[in-house]
Chain A
Amino acid sequence: MTVPILSAKEVSRSFGPIQVLFDVDFDLRPGEVHALIGENGAGKSTMMKILGGYLAPSGGSLWLDGAAVSFADHRQAEAAGVIMIHQEFNLALQLTVEQNIFLGRELMRGPFLDHAAMQAESRRQLEALNCPLDPRLRISDISVPNRQMVEIARAMGRNARVLIMDEPTAVLTGRETEILLDQIDRLRASGTAILYTSHKLDEIARIADRITVLRDGHLVTNASAADLTPDQMAEAMVGRELSDLFPAKREGQAETVLEVENLTVPGHVRGASFTLRRGEVLGFAGLVGAGRTELMEGVVGLRKTTGTVRIMGKTLAPGSVLAACKAGLVYLTEDRKDKGLLLGKSLRENLTLLALDRFTNIRIDTAAEDRALTQAISDFDIRAGDRGMNAGNLSGGNQQKLLLAKTMLAEPDIVIIDEPTRGIDIGTKQQIYQFIRQLADSGKSVIVVSSELPEVIGIATRVVVMGRGFIAGELEGNAITETAILRLAMGTQDQEAAPA
């Protein structure tokens, strides 16, 4: 067995009086992918930050190449070849790919920047990652998966021996994930030690050599990946047996509540038509960039559109989120951090923002808001350390629950949820699926847009598949399978008998 490059021995960490890590051992060996998994708030992030030099441990020690070490900050860690890639990328959006890769260690020729050399080197790094991206593009102009690649290229450019990856695939589609995993394979083969976290357990099973499971700040399991099935991983994380992830499906009623006819969102979607029935859970599947989010944003009036949207037979005024909301139609964005919640504001203010007029009679009734928050915390099981905390300090899963609570406060009849479980641990996922089911059972109608096929298949009674700005087809009942969806999404249904 090889000697670990970086290891943590009996590491603890407290924030004020709250201890979040309890004597955890962890090590990273060259040429190994070591997965660190746990529910949101289990202490993964803290552990990674300690290893990456962003946080100092309150107790225990770090060892680098067999010698005790303490990183004063992440710069020191990076100098030692330990590099962390954050979930929220540390990329300067207005700079180019090349400028980002070389940020802080620019190549010089005399007093001037050596652009040619930096570009060539960037190109080489990206090609090594099988990501042929023009280094002159601005980060703001490239896709999220590509940004991930740039982050990795930047880390490799800094001669990373240890790479700490915080949920690198949370925002990637299946195919992009595959590419990333291939890159990780290659890095592993070249001797890099990789710490990998993800909520997608099948991915863990595919890529990890060893797995460490954290729960409530304690180390629960440390085992070879071969010895754990995804179900066992999930049970170790949650600490109880997980019953079926998805609740039983039930068909919708006959009544049509939402009719979208020939809706075009310029530049994204052309001539989309679909209907939604009362009590139905309708899935929207497709590859990233197929126009699902844009279509939904168009339906609720967030984007300029042509075409018709009818709610209970009444035509909806276009271009007004407020009108849609009043007609009972709401949309939960996939981007809860930038579009869904005010991270710097309190839970209460976030909760009531959409339905503020319900709490206002010239003056806002803060007492009623507080009652609503109490109700929401219990209804949606929002786990907040302190009612007065800011939304930004909630974990991802709890943010998603808060966003759900906020939306449901407007008492909608039709709820469109975009990527309901992105970046959320398995326990919370299950709660959210239950919740979606309850919504439908109570006579409301739900559209679930998701890039995770098992999710769409598990929750929806009918699935609309989109590909490149069109509605490619619709699947119902037993016809909803991964292959059928993929065929429609990739545009290969022509060779088959087109369903419905």
Chain B
Amino acid sequence: MNRRDIFKGAALVAGLAGATVAQAQDETFTIGVAIPSATHGFMGGLNFHARDTIERLEATYDNIEFVLATAGDAAKMVNDIEDMVATRGIDALVVLPFESEPLTSPVQAVAEQGIWVTVVDRGLSVEGIEDLYVAGDNPGFGRMAGEYFVENLEDGDNIVVLRGIPTTLDNERVEAFSAAIEGSGINVLDMQHGNWNRDDAFTVMQDFLSRFDDIDAVWASDDDMAIGVLAAIEQAEREDEMWVMGGAGMKEIIGRIRDGDPQLPANVSYPPAQISTAIELTALGLVSDTPVSGRFIIGSQLITPENAEQFYFEDSPF
């Protein structure tokens, strides 16, 4: 239980505990959970946390059932949601929209039928549809990384940046990062897309290394990419020259931060466990009178060797 505590306020924990006591009524509820399939480390972690939470809640509450559907594209996700409403009669829907636009009106239709809607991570294009919005903080993610760079680099130091797949999410992060380092005198040599992919990041970093003789730090912006970047640096034998900052708190990377690896001084969290928060809050709203609607932004946190232990989840695949 303790690992989720960091993502939630103490009040929520209290509320959950209270609800556990208060579950005596006979009414049963069905909660539909629709999330993208595990094609990337982060989504893998998210899937893991979703399953884990569902299992735990089903054990805790006898009167809640879950329907979990993972989709490889937006159209499949829409079908999944329609099926949940039509055949399973769900009382609440927790959805991480594959893409904002295509999911907006189907989710709106669900909300109009009086079904509770919780939207996770990616907002819908129309505001006010969802009852509850739980998300990570993308600008905060970029800003926090940027601030770390400003603190730990000198005026005139050189960095390179690896970006993700070109999306709003990536733009928000990179813009906030750029804003944070503005005026610090840190010199961004180049930014290229590594597509949140280890192999692509390896290739891009290899080329950065052939091109630039002097690199002081790398913002890999994602831990999958950080792995590729580290391999490329190791190949070029320039480990002593620069440090790397990833993001999203992958187990392997957090472990190295915890152990004080000089190449990996810090990380910024972007918790895949936000899905747990969303599912728990939704369940709580159904079985108790606790008011859970609104927006719930889980701030990114800076992970350093000092606090890394709290972010290290032994059994998570991510």
- Let me know if chains A and B touch directly in the complex, using CB atoms closer than 8 Å: no
